């Protein structure tokens, strides 16, 4: 964990430095530091955080360096994405059917299919939202 603004001092820049200034400071420092030196790792870590807009914003807000990296299980993620896509497609099809049923009901035809179509569409959308809660 790093103290507030420590990464900026490692690179020798101000906390309002631009991306170009960060890049220049990194290039200057890394060229003069041997790879096996302990400062090398600190310079690389500082640059990797400050050069990434999201990581830099998180660091500026919290003043902490997160050692955790978020890794996603791609096989389950792909399966969930396919399920979400399928449910969303079914919902859109149900919404189209519901629209047709509404028009038919408005024209004086039976109301039962309209309620069934609405119910099915809502159940599909709720199932899709529940799947979104799965990380």
Residue written as tokens 């079914």? 90
6-62: which CATH topology? Helix Hairpins (1.10.287)
Q: pTM higher than 0.85 for the full model?
A: no
Q: Mind listing the pLDDT tens digit for each residue in 66-106? A: 655 444 444 555 777 787 788 778 777 777 777 777 777 77
């Amino acid at each position: 964990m790093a103290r507030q603004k420590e990464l900026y001092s490692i690179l020798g820049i101000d906390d309002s430095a631009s991306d170009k200034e960060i890049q220049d400071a990194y290039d200057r420092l890394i060229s003069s530091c041997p790879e096996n030196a302990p400062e090398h790792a600190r310079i690389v870590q500082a640059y990797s955080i400050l050069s990434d807009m999201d990581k830099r914003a998180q660091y500026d807000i919290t003043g902490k360096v997160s050692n955790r990296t978020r890794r996603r299980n791609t096989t389950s993620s792909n399966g969930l994405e396919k399920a979400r896509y399928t449910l969303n497609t079914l919902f859109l099809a149900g919404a189209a059917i519901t629209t047709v049923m509404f028009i038919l009901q408005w024209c004086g035809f039976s109301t039962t299919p309209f309620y069934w179509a609405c119910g099915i569409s809502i159940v599909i959308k709720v199932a899709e939202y529940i799947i979104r809660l799965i990380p």
